[in-house]
Structure 1
Amino acid sequence: MLAVRRISAVGHRPSPLQQLRTRGAGYHDYVRVETPSGHIRVPLSSPKVIGIANDRGDRSHQEDFYSFAALSLDPKELQRSVKKHFGIEWDSTKVSDLLARQVMFVGIYDGHGGSMVSQYLRQELHGLFESSKASDIPELYDWIRSLGGYFKRFRGGVLAPWIAEPPTEDPLDLETRATLTFFEVDRNLSSEEATQTCGATASVALLHSLDAPATPFFSAKRLALTVAHCGDTRVMLCPVKGGKACPMTENHHADARVESIRLRRMMGSSIITDSYGESRWMGALTNTRCLGDLRYKKFGVTPEPEVRTKLLNGEEWAYMVLVSDGVSSVLSDDEITDLARGSPDPRTAAKKILDFSQELGGEDNATVIVVPLAGWGKNEGTDETKELREYRRIQAIGSERQRRM
C-alpha cells in the first residue's frame, strides 16, 4: 500500500512539504475486483493495468512526476456528480459499499523552476483529493482572497454555494472537490519560499465505474470520466473505431482563447512574445494555470482547474493516454494514440510513445501514462499517422547527421 507517515504533535509544526494528511486515508495502490468468491486485489503497478514510461531527456534533473491510486469517496458525492454531468440516477446500493466508493485516480505533473511542487503533487495530491471536506471551503476562500490582485474579484466559482450565507448542505461533486483540492495545494505550499517561483502543471483523470455488478475501470461497460486540468500536460482518449484521438484537455497558454479572454477581462493585457515567438504571461510564464508559482497568482495565474467530463461506453474506447509537454510538444494527439496501437500491454504502449518522441529530438523531461479501457486490443481502422511518422523519422535522422558533421 501507499505509505502514510504520521506526524508527531511534539515539537515544532512541520512545513507543508514535510507533513502528510493525518485524516484516515482510504486510498490504495490496488483496485478491488468483485468475483463469485469475493473481492480480489489487482495491483495498479502491473504493466497490464497501467503503463508508464518516463525519462529526463537531456535535462540534468527530473521535474516530471506522476501518481495513481484507488480512492475511496462518498457515494453521495459520486451520485451527485453523475446526476450533474450526465443526468443519470446512479444507484450505489446495487454494489457493495467498498466498490461503490472506488474511484481510480491517475495524475501527471510537469514541474518548472524546480521539482518541489511536482514532487509534492506526486506525494500528496491523491491523499488531499480524498480527504478534503466541504467545511474547509470558507477558510480556504478567505486565504484565496488574501492573495489580492486578480483574486480580490474571485467569487469562488464552483465553490460559491459553500461560501454563501447560509452555505449549502449539498455534498460536494467531483468538479468541486477537484477545485477545492487544487487551491488547497497552493495554500499548503504558500509558506515555502521556493514555491514563489517554482510550479507545476497537472492533469488528473478520475474513472468511476457505474456497472452493477461492479467492475474495475479497465473492464467497465459504463464509465464516468472526470478530468481536472491546469497547464499543458494532456489527456486524450483513443476510440476502438477509427482511432482518432479525443482530447480531454486544452493547453492553458497565455494566447489560448479561453485563457486570453479570462485574463484580459480581469487583468488587461500582459502577454509578451519572447525571442522564440512564444507568448508568455507577465513575460515569464508559458502556462497561465498551474500550481505553485505563487508570486504570479495576484496577476491572474490560477490553480483553478478546468474540469471536463465524459460518459464512456467502455467497449467503445481502447485506452486513455496522459502525457507531459516533453511528448506533446513533439507529437500530435493522433500520433500519440496511433503509436499505442497493437501493443501487448500498456507499459509497452507507453514506451513506444516515449521512444518515438525522443527519436524525433525530444530533449525535455517526458512522461507517458497509458490506461487501458474495456476496448483494449480491439482497435479497428488504419494507422492514419504511420506515413507521417516515418517521414518525420527520416527527417530527424537527416538532421542529426547534419548536426554531427
Structure 2
Amino acid sequence: MSHHAHPFNIRNALRAVFAPTSSPRPSISQRRAFHEYFVTHLPSSSLSPDKQHANHHRLPRDESSPHSGPSRRPAQLAQQPAVSRDTTIVRIPIKSAKHHFGAGVSRGSRPYNEDTYQAGTIEMPAFAKRQPVSLTRTLPGQGGAAGGQAAKSESGDPQVFYFGVFDGHGGSECSEFLRDRLHGYIEEAALLFGMDSSLRNDSSADASSLDSEGGIMGEQDAEDLQKSLVSTWRETVGGYFKRFKPEYFPAVSNYSSAEPPSTLNNSSIETVLAYAFLKADLDFTTAQASKHTNAERERSSIDDPVLADRPLNDNDVLFQDDRPASQNLRAPRKGSSPDLAAPIGGAQRFKGGSTASVALISTPTPVPFWHPASPSTLIVAHAGDTRILLSRTSDGKALPLTTNHHPDAPVEANRLRRYAASFVTDSFGEERMGGLANTRAFGDIGSKRLGVSAEPQITRVDLNPAEYSFVVMVSDGVSGHLTDQEIVDVVKESRTPAQGAADLAGFAVEVAEEADNATALVVRLGGWERRNEGGGGSLGTKEQRDYRRQEAMDPRARRQ
C-alpha cells in the first residue's frame, strides 16, 4: 500500500482493520479472545509413554519401555533402530502452570475486590534483542525442535508473553475493562503501525512485504494517526491536554536527550504501547462522558416524553456505528454472536478509574524465557502505583522497574504544577490532587482536565540467561505495606511461583491494620532455582517480617 495513496482518515483505517480480507491472517475481531495459554512442543512419548508397546496396558510400570523398543534385552537393543521421538504441540494454561506462574488475590478487609489481573500470550511481532548467530544455530545431529521448546506464534516469531495487574478505585468497571481489552489495543496498535519484528534482517523484508503481513499504515499515515489521537484528547478533554506531547510519539513530541531520534520510530514497541494506553483511556473516558446518569435520565423522562421512549443505551459510544470506538467487538461467549457489543464501564456512567502495570516478555529463540540458558527482553508499561520488581540472582536484591505516580513524585510534580488547581495533604500526610492519590490512571473522568493521564512510563530490560530469578507484580495493597526487598524475600522462601504469590498476598493482608485489596503475580525466570544463593537468600528481612507477623497476631500490641 502506498504511503500517500489517499487522504488519511482514522475511521477508514480502523474499518480496514475489521474488514475481511483475502489473506488467511485473522482480523482483530477474530483474534479478540485473549490467549490464556502458551503453546509448546513436548515429546509424543511423554503424553502416553507406554503406548509404543503392543500390550502396554498389561505391563506393570517398572516393565514399561517408552524409548527402547518392544524388548529390553541388550542383544535386541543393539539390533533395533532408535525409536522416533516426535514432538507434539500442546496448549498449557499459564494460570494453571504453578511452576511457571502464580497469582495471589485477597480482598483484604474491603467488602469487594476491585483488583484484576491477566496472564497469557498476545499476537504481536517479537521485540527481543537479536542474539549472535552462534547462539541460535542448531548443531548438526541435534535435530530441530527440542523437548520443551515454545512453538512459534501466528506472526512466525516466538510467542510474546503478557502479564498485567490492574488496581481499580471507585469500583471494578475500569479494571475489568483493562483486564478484558487492553491486550486488544496493544495488538491493534502493532497491526496499525506495522510493527517490525526485531528478529528479522532489514534486507529480508521490504515495505510491500510488510503490508502483506498485516501492517496497514504507511509512515506518514502512522504519524497522522498519532496526531489525530492527541488532537482528539485536546478537543474532547482540553485543560492539561491542550499542550500534551506524548514522549514516545515521534510525530508529536520533542526528542529528549534520554531518547535520541535514532531510537524512536512509528513502529517501535514503545510507540505501540503508548498509543494503546492512550487510545484505551480515550475510549473509556469518552464512553463514560456520553452516558446519562440516573438523575439525568429521570429529568429527561419528565421533561420530554420522546426522550423517555429512546433506548437506555442510545447515547453510548459503543452503540453508535458512526462514532469511532476501536473496541466495538468483544470475545464471544458461549452461544453468543461474535459481533455483540459490550458497554465500556457498564451501563451507567462510571466516575472511578484504575491503575495498570503491564509486562511483556519476548525471546529471540524458541526456547522459553524461563529456561536457565535463554536470554529475553522485558518491556514494562506502567501508570499509577501498581508495582513491578525483579529479583537479581547474583545478590538477591530487588530491582524496581516502576515508580509510583503520586503528586509528591518529582517527575509528576514538575509535570502537573502548572495545570493542577491545588495539591492538598490529607490526614495521613499523603499529598493528593483533586482528591486522588494517583496522578496517572485510566478513567477518573472528573480529573482528566487537571492532568490525570494514562500515558505509560515504559522501561526496557534485556535479561541475560539466569540473570534474574523472577518477576513480581503487585497492587498497592501489597506494596503499600511491604518494602520492595520484603516482597522479593517472601517469594524466595516459596517452592513455586504459585505458592509465592499466595504467600505474598496473604502476608500483606495479615500485617496491615486496614487491609486493602491485595494482588500479587509471580513469573518464573531463568534463575529461579538459584533465587536463594545471592545476598544470604531471604534472611535480610526475615527478622523484620517475623516481628511484623508477631505484632499482627497480638491484639494488645496495637492498643494506644
Decide: shared fold, TM above 0.5: yes
Of 214, 219, 232, the match for 2:385:
232
In the TM superposition, what are the counterparts of 1:1-150 in structure 2 within 5 Å?
22=29, 24-25=31-32, 28-34=35-41, 37=87, 39-46=89-96, 47-75=98-126, 78=127, 82=129, 98=153, 100-132=157-189, 133-134=192-193, 135=222, 136-146=225-235, 147-150=237-240
Given that residues 56 and 365 in structure 1 are in contact (C-alpha distance below 8 angstroms), is that contact kept between their aligned partners in structure 2? yes
Within 5 Å, give how 1:308-347 maps onto structure 2. Answer: 308-347=459-498
Q: Which residue of the partner structure matches residue 14 of structure 1?
A: none
What is residue 4 of structure 1 aligned with on the other side? none
Pairing partner for 1:294 from 439, 442, 445: 445
The amino acid that maps onto 2:288 is: E
Residue 160 of structure 1 is matched in structure 2 by 250
Alignment CA distance shift 1:195-1:48 (3 Å): farther
CA deviation map 1:259-304 (0-9, x unaligned): 111112x42672110122110012x110000011122111111110
Q: Against the structure 1 CA distance between its residues 156 and 246, is the aligned structure 2 distance closer, same or farther, given a 3 Å change threshold?
A: closer
Return the letter of the residue paired with 2:423: I
Instruction: Report how many residues are paired.
Output: 369
Q: In the TM superposition, what whole-angstrom CA distance separates every residue of 1:209-236 from its partner, at most 9, and x where no partner exists? A: 12x3x11222262110110000100000
Query: What is the CA distance between 1:139 and its match in structure 2?
Result: 3.1
Cα drift, residue 163 of structure 1 = 9.2
Residues 191 and 244 (structure 1 numbering): CA distance in 2 closer, same or farther, change over 3 Å? Answer: same
| Bigger Rg, structure 1 or 2 | 2
Do the aligned partners of 1:239 and 1:317 also contact (CA within 8 Å) in 2?
A: yes
Name the CA distance, whole Å, in 1 between partners of 2:476 and 2:420. Answer: 27
**1:255 counterpart (382, 397, 408):** 408
What is the root-mean-square deviation of aligned Cα atoms in Å? 2.9
Q: 1:223 — aligned with what?
A: 376
Contact kept, 8 Å, 1:109 with 1:203, in 2: the verdict is yes
Q: For 1:161-240, list aligned pairs within 5 A.
A: 161=251, 172-189=267-284, 190-193=286-289, 197-210=351-364, 212=365, 214-219=366-371, 221-240=374-393
- TM-superposed CA distance for 1:317, in Å, is 1.1
Matched residue, 1:378: 530
For residues 455 and 125 of structure 2, the distance between their equivalents in structure 1, rounded to whole angstroms, comes to 22
Gaps of 5+ in 2: 1-27, 43-85, 138-144, 146-150, 194-221, 255-263, 290-347
Q: Secondary structure at the match of 1:141?
A: helix
CA contact (8 A) 2:358 2:382 kept: yes
Instruction: Look up the equivalent residue of 2:429 and give its one-letter code.
Output: G
Question: Which SS does the other structure have where 1:367 is aligned?
Answer: strand
Q: TM-score, normalised by structure 2?
A: 0.61
**1:388 to 2:515 alignment:** no
CA distance in 1, matches of 2:478, 2:246: 34
- Pick closer, same or farther for the CA change 1:131–1:101 going to 2, 3 Å: farther
- Name the aligned partner's letter for residue 511 of structure 2: L
In structure 1, how many angstroms separate the alpha carbons of the residues matched to 2:396 and 2:246?
Answer: 38
% same residue: 37
After the TM superposition, list the runs of 4 or more consecutive aligned residues in structure 1 that deviate by more than 4 angstroms: 88-91, 93-97, 193-196, 402-405
Kept after mapping to 2: 8 A contact 1:67/1:122: yes
Structure 1 residues without counterparts, runs of 5 or longer: 1-20
Aligned partners of 1:34 and 1:215 also within 8 Å: no
Residue 309 of structure 1, CA deviation: 1.1
- Matches of 1:89 and 1:201 in 2, distance apart? 38
- Aligned twin of 2:303: none
Please say if residues 200 and 291 of structure 1, whose CA atoms lie closer than 8 Å, have aligned partners that are also in contact.
yes
- Asked if residue 271 in structure 1 is aligned to residue 426 in structure 2, the reply is no
- Change beyond 3 A, Cα 1:257–1:307: same
Q: Distance in 1 between matches of 2:508 and 2:482?
A: 7
Deviation digits for residues 56-102 of structure 1, max 9, x if unmatched? 11111110000112112134xx27xx48xxxx7899x9898526152
Measured after TM superposition, the shift of residue 392 of structure 1 is: 1.6
Shifted more, 49-58 versus 374-383: the winner is 374-383
Aligned mates of 2:253, 2:526 — CA distance in 1: 40
In 1, distance between residues paired with 2:99 and 2:544? Answer: 29
SS in 2 for 1:288: coil
The answer to whether the Cα contact below 8 Å between 2:420 and 2:433 also exists between their aligned partners in 1 is no
Return the alpha-carbon distance in structure 2 between the equivalents of residues 237 and 359 of structure 1.
Answer: 24
Question: In the superposition, relative to structure 1, how do residues 195 and 389 fare at CA in structure 2: closer, same or farther (>3 Å)?
Answer: farther
CA 1:70–1:254: 2 relative to 1, 3 Å: same
